[in-house]
A and B are shown apart, each in its own frame.
Chain A
Amino acid sequence: MSPDVLLRLWFGTIRPVGDAGVVSTLTTPLAEVAATNATLRAFLHGLPGVDRVGADQRTAMLGTRSIKTTAKAQAIDLAISMVDLTTLEGADTLGKVRAMCAKAVRPDPADPSVPKVAAVCVYPDLVAPAVEALGRSGVRVASVATGFPSGRTSLEVKVRDTELAVAAGAHEIDMVIDRGAFLSGDYRKVFDEIAAVRSACARDGGDDAHLKVILETGELATYDNVRRASWLAMLAGADFIKTSTGKVAPAATLPVTLVMLEAVRDFRSQTGRMIGVKPAGGIRTTKDAIKYLVLVNETTGPDWLTPEWFRLGASSLLNDLLMQRQKLTTGRYAGPDYFTLD
């Protein structure tokens, strides 16, 4: 980023009240937004607020979009290709992960025209077998890290957790932010942790793991917090911002995703840098998935409508997508036993 852009980012978003404020910010590049907790706080609290009622109404209206026939077929295939097929259980085993990887590469064994999913998402100790099982399929391996899901551990452990996952071959790291620090106003701590984990994503040869930052919006509670946390993560170097761990209710919701999409849209228009968005948790039906695609289409526009920039973190969603896909092509529903449970 050029200093010019940085200046505009700092200046265009924050709204200094008095002359003194203007003078002090005139020479402040974006890097210095995070100089102290006070500057970070001033920046994040200077972002426009989010009106909950209005945001809820907007997504409710977009939820009435009627996606039929050819558009539905296109949406289902797009949604399948955006799925981060996830298993994050204490009971996960090698066998479970291998089975899921097979499903990820070929979701419907009876129909080779079904696209593969974007990635599988597993705990760090299962990255190596997932990488092996997926081979050269093109399906990426994402690993949760940093003391997932609560993140209540030391920075050293979080960084090491990340390094091990990266070393095991993870293409993507899904980290959690320290919600306690965020809610207590210690934005700088959150920023520093993200930046440290970002460094731990580096790999020799430049093929760095992509960093997805999980905000756990169910614990942040307000949309204002979601917007601030989104910006905080983007400033600290996130490649993706992700709603939830899936372990806290509510997980992904349409309004929260709307607020995050607005954040990445505004971030690109101010810095030129594109950040991805991943709602995760609670997305179970094709109807839900299509609502998310409509939301992307009408908020950020089609640039984000690719697996590179938008993902759906889910597990049971995939079978519903397959079922609806088959219904659309054959005109009939097959029973659930015709779709594999992996």
Chain B
Amino acid sequence: MFEYAPAPESRDVVDIRPSYGLFINGEWADALGDAREKTINPASEEVLAEFAVASEADVDRAVSAARKAYDAVWGQMPGRERAKYLFRIARIIQERARELAVLESLDNGKPIRESRDVDLPLVAAHFFYYAGWADKLGYAGLGADPRPLGVAAQVIPWNFPLLMLAWKIAPALACGNTVVLKPAETTPLTALAFAEICRQADLPPGVVNIVTGAGETGQALVNHPDVNKVAFTGSTEVGRLIARSVAGSGKKLTLELGGKAANIVFDDAALDQAVEGIVNGIFFNQGHVCCAGSRLLVQESIEGELLDALKRRLSTLRMGDPLDKNTDIGAINSSAQLAKIKELSDAGESEGAARWSASCPIPEKGFWFPPTLFTGVAQSHRIAREEIFGPVLSVLTFRTPAEAVEKANNSPYGLSAGVWTEKGSRILWMADKLRAGVVWANTFNKFDPTSPFGGYKESGYGREGGRHGLEAYLDVRPM
């Protein structure tokens, strides 16, 4: 037996302060109130740092700083000058990639292999990509001279803390807006490190402001009367509240919400690669992915063969220390999320689906859930309809391509889908019929800054990424 010895990435590259304030107008500022929260390492429950909880008054200070920076500096600045700052930020991110990857894994629980090989390269790529657009906005097909909106209020989730920040901040700044961003309360550290990067890049004060806190801070931010744009990524439930409160305010809104993606495997698929794609689709980032392929739709004629192969593969997944370079599955981000995953999994069992989990040792401390799949799942089961946001796969079967489409689309969500077949014509046919913002063919969970991302139905509206992502941050109404 070939056991891999522990190969932990060193923590020495990160410098976490015991306590953080708010980043307003290019400076670290204490919150006006005394409220503070702690962020922990979900793999060990160790407290990493304390951070300020921004009150309504703090949010107001941040929005004023952003407004001032927009009026005085950033909104006026020629695109080619804005681009220089964005390119500089992108390069600093690349230079500090190792540090940021370790910090992300510590705060979020995701394996270092993913933060190092997926998150950080994509973060830098987003800044590089949108830096390139900054002086070419007139050629984006959105009118000859599209104007920025003003101040953008951005609220991001905990599953890809720094990547979601990049998805939000890079296009906003490229288009000439200024930003107040609130990171998730369980994962604020990389956003706070990004504040330092803004200073390192000499970004004019107030262009980027970071306020930390939980739901109330977010609520104060999106409801602030002086913001022109609200961008939110997170749960459909919160998205709905935001849509309601923003309605009629004139604020432009983009929402990127939940999903329950179908990953559809036909009997002529390249089986071994389909298995890899299924694993990557649902167990990437512990399944904390809004576009995760959480419903496996497999053609009934190969169900047995595919499940055997899948179970064999799941048994080789390595769960444990997120900082170990050989870890495949890290920790669940919080005890609250773990409780939700457990609740839905138990519901799956009590509704009659069969549960199978890879047997892997579970560390004593921290929040863990083994890779799990459910067979015998029906469309009516909760685990086939509700977003679990964890490493849990529901397996359903279909008989014909039409039935696959029908089942895939039979969901309130419509963020992504996957199709596995060696037949090119069927891929195109399926992509035409699937009501999902992204359709992956013979791959899954692949991201690129040039490709627009967003949902149908309850998965949200607006697109992020690519040329389409610019529209969300520009005033494209005719003059």
Among the listed A54, A58, A66, A293, which residue makes an inter-chain contact with B7, where contact means beta carbons less than 8 Å apart? Answer: A66
Query: Looking at chain B, what size class is its interface with the partner chain?
Result: 20 to 34
Among the listed A54, A294, A305, which residue makes an inter-chain contact with B273, where contact means beta carbons less than 8 Å apart? Answer: A54
CA A73 to CA B17, docked complex, whole Å: 39
A residues 286-309 touching B (CB-CB < 8 Å) = 293-294, 297-298, 301-302, 305
CA A293 to CA B116, docked complex, whole Å: 23
CB distance from A304 to the nearest CB of B (A): 10
A262: interface (CB < 8 Å): yes
Given known pairs A53-B443, A66-B325, A68-B7, the reply for A262 and B272 (CB within 8 Å) is yes
CA A331 to CA B7, docked complex, whole Å: 18
CA A67 to CA B269, docked complex, whole Å: 33
Q: Is the CB of B270 within 8 A of A48?
A: yes
Q: Is the CB of B326 within 8 A of A48?
A: no
B12: interface (CB < 8 Å): no
A41: interface (CB < 8 Å): no
A337: interface (CB < 8 Å): no
| Residues on the A chain within 8 Å of B305, using CB | 12
| Residues on the B chain within 8 Å of A6, using CB | none
Q: Is the CB of A302 within 8 A of B271?
A: no
Query: Looking at chain A, what size class is its interface with the partner chain?
Result: 20 to 34
CB distance from B394 to the nearest CB of A (A): 23
Given known pairs A53-B443, A64-B117, the reply for A58 and B273 (CB within 8 Å) is yes
Q: Is the CB of B7 within 8 A of A49?
A: no
For B3, B5, B301, B305, the residue with the greatest tally of chain A CB atoms inside 10 Å of its CB is B5
**Which applies to chain A's interface (DSSP): helix, strand, loop or mixed?**
helix
CA A50 to CA B442, docked complex, whole Å: 11
| Residues on the A chain within 8 Å of B422, using CB | 49, 51
CB distance from A112 to the nearest CB of B (A): 24
B226: interface (CB < 8 Å): no
Interface string of A52-81 (1 = CB under 8 A from B): 011101100100111111111011001000
Q: Is the CB of A48 within 8 A of B271?
A: yes
CB distance from A312 to the nearest CB of B (A): 15
Q: Is the CB of A50 within 8 A of B325?
A: no
A189: interface (CB < 8 Å): no
For A293, A301, A305, the residue with the greatest tally of chain B CB atoms inside 10 Å of its CB is A301
For B2, B117, B268, B276, the residue with the greatest tally of chain A CB atoms inside 10 Å of its CB is B2
Residue of chain B at shortest CB distance from A73 = B5
| Residues on the A chain within 8 Å of B277, using CB | 54
Q: Is the CB of B276 within 8 A of A50?
A: no
CA A265 to CA B123, docked complex, whole Å: 39
A98: interface (CB < 8 Å): no
CB distance from B238 to the nearest CB of A (A): 34
| Residues on the B chain within 8 Å of A298, using CB | 316
Q: Which residues from chain A sit less than 8 Å from chain B, CB to CB?
A: 12, 15, 48-51, 53-55, 57-58, 61, 64-72, 74-75, 78, 262, 293-294, 297-298, 301-302, 305
Apart from A57-B276, A67-B7, 20 more pairs, CB < 8 Å:
A12-B305, A49-B270, A49-B422, A50-B270, A51-B270, A51-B273, A53-B273, A53-B443, A54-B272, A54-B276, A54-B277, A54-B443, A55-B273, A58-B273, A64-B325, A65-B4, A66-B326, A67-B5, A71-B4, A74-B2
Q: Which residues from chain B sit less than 8 Å from chain A, CB to CB?
A: 1-7, 113, 117, 267-273, 276-277, 301, 305, 316, 325-326, 422, 442-443
- Can you list 23 contacts pairing A with B, beta carbon distance less than 8 Å? A15-B267, A48-B268, A48-B269, A48-B270, A48-B271, A48-B272, A49-B269, A53-B442, A54-B272, A54-B273, A54-B276, A58-B273, A65-B326, A66-B325, A67-B5, A67-B7, A71-B3, A71-B5, A72-B5, A298-B316, A301-B316, A302-B2, A305-B1
